[in-house]
Amino acid sequence: MAGSVSERLAALQWAVDADQWDEFAEGVEAWAGEQPDNLWLQAGRVVAAAVRGEDTSQTRDVVRALDARLAAQIELLADVQAGDRQETRSKVMEELAYGSRDPVLLGALQWAEPGPADPIKNLFATAHLVGGCVLNNGQITSMAARGSRMSADSLGHRMDQIWSDVSRLNRRIDLGIVQSVVVLGEDGGWALASTGGDNPRMASVLVAAASVATEAAARAQVVIAAGEAEHD
């Protein structure tokens, strides 16, 4: 299912409004294949199955998990209302790590953590981050490295190598739009993300410990979301 997040959502909304449930199911299935951990898409699969009259009794865990996410989002709203920046930041990062790119979340992050108006600089300023590269249309546009056993050149080379492997795999097996790749590396965890398409924009980061790879992935989502907003 090609297109930006907003275009995909619009296509699904059109299918629902037009009562075209086969197209809804196809769209959800294609998108869920790219993001198998996205609970919203898994719930969409349940909806599509229910419309087709299929037995959905074995998929209730997905609905329960989605319910837990909704509860977390309600807590996030309460934290914002209470002015609790620390809890807001923590919950926003969790949502971003899930792959959400809602501009409201990015705005909440800017409020909770003043300074991320430039998401790339903010990505590089993240605690535990030892290096990062950002590519636009295949060209490195920004790079930073600190406190790593890798030099900036090695960092860029390693990232290019990983991305090249993913690209070759994509030519042999249709992976769709590669949204993220997380790999354990010498210094900890790698997190990459890309919008794919004709003008790919990728953020890659190297963190000092695999335990903070989730936050690194969330930071990468911020960079990608900002890139998508420029083209919406």
Quick one: which H or E segment has residue 107?
Answer: helix 103-112
Quick one: which H or E segment has residue 129?
Answer: strand 129-136
Query: Model pTM greater than 0.75?
Result: no
- The first and second tokens of residue 228, run together, are 């998508």
Give the integer Cα–Cα distance in Å for 57 and 172. Answer: 36
Q: Pairing between strand 201-207 and 180-185?
A: unpaired
In 3-state terms the chain splits into helix, strand, coil percentages (rounded to 5) of 60, 15, 25
CA angle 59, 96, 80 (to 5 degrees): 105
pLDDT tens sequence for the chain (232 residues):
567 777 888 899 999 889 888 999 999 998 888 877 777 888 888 888 888 888 888 787 888 888 888 888 889 999 999 999 999 988 988 888 776 777 788 888 888 887 656 667 777 777 777 777 777 666 777 777 766 666 667 766 776 777 677 677 666 665 555 656 666 665 666 676 666 555 666 777 777 777 777 777 777 777 777 766 665 5
Look at domain 119-231 and name its CATH class.
Answer: alpha beta
